[in-house]
Amino acid sequence: MAHPNSRETLIEYAFKRLGAPVIEINVDYTQAEDRLDDALEFFRERHFDGVERVFFSHKITEADKEQKYILTNDIGPVNGPTGDGPRGSDILTVLKVFQFGQFSNINMFDVRYQLALSDYFGVNRGLNAAVSQGLASYDSTKRYINMIEDFFQPEKAIRFSKVTNKLHIDMKWSEIATDEYIVIEAYAALNENTYTEIFNDRLLKEYTTALIKRQWGSNLAKYDGVQMPGGVVLRGGQIQSEAEREIDEIEQKFYSQYELPVDFMTG
């Protein structure tokens, strides 16, 4: 199949690309499945189409407060009309936890609400004296309010590892109440069984084929130089060396062309 859409069809594509059924590919199917898993893992970590920037809402539980961390595996799917988005178990890295607490809640008595109600609409509609202030005054006031928020309620420091699947928020957990919601911004891996277009990615097809080719060469390497009936000489080491070069070239493409850029912190 030239356009694979499943694990089976991608493995079949890789075998055909290596020469099957004309040439016998000395790789067990379970080995091919393992190499495909390796390719998918690398694809999610290094290709921007393998992950999605998502926002999870999580209701704080008593267990969260007692253990002082959030087990991301317990977080449900991303909210949306279909409900088929990534789950907490798919999180690869956590970017931030949005501010929560007294300064993060806005009601009609909040200065930010009143500022937007009077000054902002005054600038645009010519109401009262706000028309003479212009957007510059509104902008400077908002920046001042944000500075105060940063002083008295800075963003919480977080620690996360996909190995432990534990999101630690460095704070006094008494600051947040049970059943209160927080919003988590993260990058999560896309499920290949849901989004089968992944299997038809050009670079993933090349990488999977190269990994299976290396496995093929590794399987034959111990028979290197053995002459078969008909005068055919096995060259497993040569196949393995060719695959190693192909893998290096493909991985360089991942790094230079398809990997998400590093987020720089300024301040």
Please state the domain extents for the chain. 7-47+201-258, 48-101+153-189, 104-152
Q: How many CB atoms lie within 10 A of CB 229?
A: 5
Residue 135 sits at φ, ψ, to 5 deg, of -70, -25
Contact between 51 and 190 (Cβ < 8 Å): yes
- The pLDDT of 9-25, averaged and rounded, is 95
Predicted pLDDT of residue 78:
81
Predicted pLDDT of residue 11:
97
| Res. 110 pLDDT band, cuts 50 70 90 | low
Residue 261 sits at φ, ψ, to 5 deg, of -65, 155
One-letter-per-residue 3-state SS of 120-140: HHHHHHCCHHHHHCHHHHHHH
Tell which wins on pLDDT, 210 or 125. 210
Tell which wins on pLDDT, 238 or 264. 238
- The pLDDT of 86-93, averaged and rounded, is 92
| 233: CB partners within 8 A, 6+ apart | 225, 226, 227
| 183: CB partners within 8 A, 6+ apart | 55, 56, 57, 58, 97, 98
Tell which wins on pLDDT, 88 or 123. 88
Q: What is the b/e burial string over 126-135, where b = at least 16 CB atoms within 10 angstroms of the residue's CB?
A: eeeebeeeee
Is residue 211 classed as helix, strand or coil in its secondary structure? helix
Mean pLDDT of the chain: 83
